[in-house]
Amino acid sequence: MDPKPTRRPGELAFTIFLAAASLGLLWSAYGIAGFEALSSPGAVPMATTAIMVVSALVVLFETLRRPAGRIQTLRRDILPPAVIVTIAMIALYALLLRPLGFIPTSLLFLTAMIWFLSRRGLLFCLGVAFGTVLLIWLIFRMVFSVLMPPGIVPEGRIVAFLMSLF
Amino acid sequence: MDILPNLLMPLTHLDLLALIAAGTFAGIYVGAIPGLSVTMAVSILISFTFSWDVYPALALMIGIYMGGVYGGSRTAILLNIPGAPSAIATALDGFPLAQKGRAGEAIGIVTVVSFIGGFIGIFALAGLAPVLSDFALRFQPRDFMLLAIMGILLVGSLSGGSLTKGVFAGALGIGIGAVGMDPLTVQDRFVFGLDELRGGISFVAVMIGMFGVSEALMQLHNVHTPAVRQKIDGIVPSWAKVRKHLPLGLQSSAIGTVVGALPGTGGDIASLMAYDQAKRVTRNPETPFGEGAVEGLVAPEAANNAAVGGAFIPMMTLGIPGDAVTAIMIGALFIHGLNPGPMLMIEQPNMFWFIVGSLALANCFMLLFGLTGIRLFVKVVELPRTILLPVILVLSIVGAYAINNSLTDVYWMLGFGVLGYFMRLYGYPLAPVILGVILSRLLDDNWRRAIISTREDFGAMLMGIFTSPLSLTLLLAVVMILVTNSPWWARWRGR
């Protein structure tokens, strides 16, 4: 016989969060036009958020029926340090992107992330990060013409210099 | 309208030709490298190509799509890690073959049947889409509404997990798509007093977050998995071998095309169904299924590549995506000011024939690149994830920022990335979210059109559904999906 399915760590909290958020969204959808008309701008949002509430509650009921698992842990299987650090690093990247610019921020992000994940020498990480940023910058700035925040790097002058070579 | 010039356009314009070739080449690697997916690549790519003309942007995306579906088989065979969900069935027999030292043979036959399957799907697209789009002109708003609901439910139910979670994910997507000012009444919806939300949430940021960031975060769980090296030689298969497996390849291609053409399904379901069918029809395989049967490779690979052409059928004729990648393609067409659906087929048939030509060309490049460059391929696949994942994250951030040159989109991407990560961990499918976001507007517009046409009389609208054979069929399909996925149905079947 199959063992009874168990709840993963944090699953109940996540399901409660989804149910609560769905209820909040249903209230917000009701606030758009109430029960004014079936063709009102709030009709579809109300219907979809009502479906969210019902399905979230069904999932919550199913989750509550399952016993908590004992093999998995929150720290190892759900939110290991690598995931937490990565999320924090992305947020930090977004914060620094405007003031520092794309090239320095990406260089810092890649060096730190590669070092953190691979534990290789700092020089190796810096070298890989430098090569990658250069490649990404060349492809996206020169080929795709994507404008990224220049920040402290005189990007305009670099592009003008590169263009003068051809 | 001249079909031929548009069909041959990708071949006669060198820039388009080069983009399709580059896209297919990159797609094979994207599909093959575990941790990268075609959906992820195409969603990131949209943000970089939206300033381009629509033709080169589509050429690149089509190449990546075609190459990526095929590329997923490579790592399934070599490492037992399907590079894409559509290659899950391929690993079942591909890896045992590789373990027996026959990886080259497996890759060779997979490449050829993928090429054959790809062309069957493209022929079906070219032959059926114009007919279907004429038929689709008869669709009432209520039919489009029912079709959108059917697509979201189908993808939710076929994602493998619970239908309730699939329904939640689809509804969440529709809700996200409704954020911002209502286009008809300019009334705020889910704005919470924030000006940034008035323009809505960029679906590209949602896609990059859900498919790019969340996938990268998941990969962090097994970042130190060592690469497995395989010896590969003798890739090009003999004609006798191809001829032997041709009937099964054609049969599986037909399955792939039909399943791919169902709204909301895609290559992953097509390949599993074809694999199952191959097991039933192959009487005496040389090697048993699951231990390295060549038939177990032929069926899923012919089917998943045929599903590419199939998935474009509902996209081009109805504006309903066939799978997650075509959902993103619809988004790309919207960004370029085009509205996929029957009217696009009538007003701009050149676009349709260009897509058919590009798919055919990408399929040819897939055969060429598939049978060559294996040494380089093995090196790239061995790239450690400790380097690959940070690079994916930088590309995701750059992609999200480039949509509107706005950091708000980066924060949205991160938010949806974290949400997508937890959803994946707890068994919620993500494809219905994206389908919901894309179809939100279509659903909302058509619901309002349908109910206004009956002067707000819901009973009259229901009567309209019950008296129209098409609407009734669609409604029954929706009910069937719900019933067959309910626990009561499972209990009844179990008796």
**What is the secondary structure of chain A as a DSSP string?**
-PPPP-BPTTHHHHHHHHHHHHHHHHHHHHHHHTTS-TTSTTHHHHHHHHHHHHHHHHHHHHHHHSPBPSS--IIIIIS-HHHHHHHHHHHHHHHHHHHH-HHHHHHHHHHHHHHHHH---HHHHHHHHHHHHHHHHIIIIIIS------TTS-HHHHHHHHHHH-
On whether any CB of chain A is under 8 Å from the CB of B394, the answer is yes
| Domains of chain B, residue spans | 3-139+215-405
In this predicted structure, what is the pLDDT of residue B265? Answer: 67
Nearest to B48 among A56, A114, A146 (CB): A146
**Does position B157 have pLDDT exceeding 70, yes or no?**
no
pLDDT at A149 over 80: yes
- Measured CA to CA, the distance from residue B219 to residue B389 in angstroms comes to 8
Q: Is A136 within 8 Å of B172 when comparing Cβ atoms? A: no
Q: Is B50 helix (H, G, I), strand (E, B) or coil?
A: coil
Average pLDDT, chain B: 85
Region B139-161 average pLDDT: 78
Partner residue opposite A117 with nearest CB, options B164, B386, B444: B386
Residue of B220, B449, B482, B485 to mutate when probing chain A, most A C-beta within 10 A? B220
Q: Is residue B361 predicted with pLDDT exceeding 50?
A: yes
Q: Does A128 touch chain B (CB under 8 A)?
A: yes
Average pLDDT over residues B376-401: 81
Is the separation of the CB atoms in B5 and B39 below 8 Å?
A: no
DSSP bridge pairs for B301: none
The pLDDT, as a whole number, for residue B270 is 85
Question: Which of B184, B426, B453, B488 would best serve as a mutation to test chain A binding (most A beta carbons within 10 A)?
Answer: B426
B171 contact A CB<8A: yes
- The domain limits of chain A are 11-76, 80-165
Cβ contacts of A42 on chain B, cutoff 8 Å: 187, 189
CB contact under 8 A, B51 and A145: yes
State whether ipTM is beyond 0.90.
yes
**How far lies B54's CA from each of A31, B3, B10, B166, B361, in Å?**
39, 18, 13, 33, 17
- DSSP structure class, residue B231: -
pTM, rounded to two decimals:
0.80
* Per-residue pLDDT at A1 exceeds 50: no
Interface of A with B in 4-43 (CB under 8 A): 8, 10-11, 14-15, 18, 22, 25, 28-29, 32-33, 37-39, 41-43
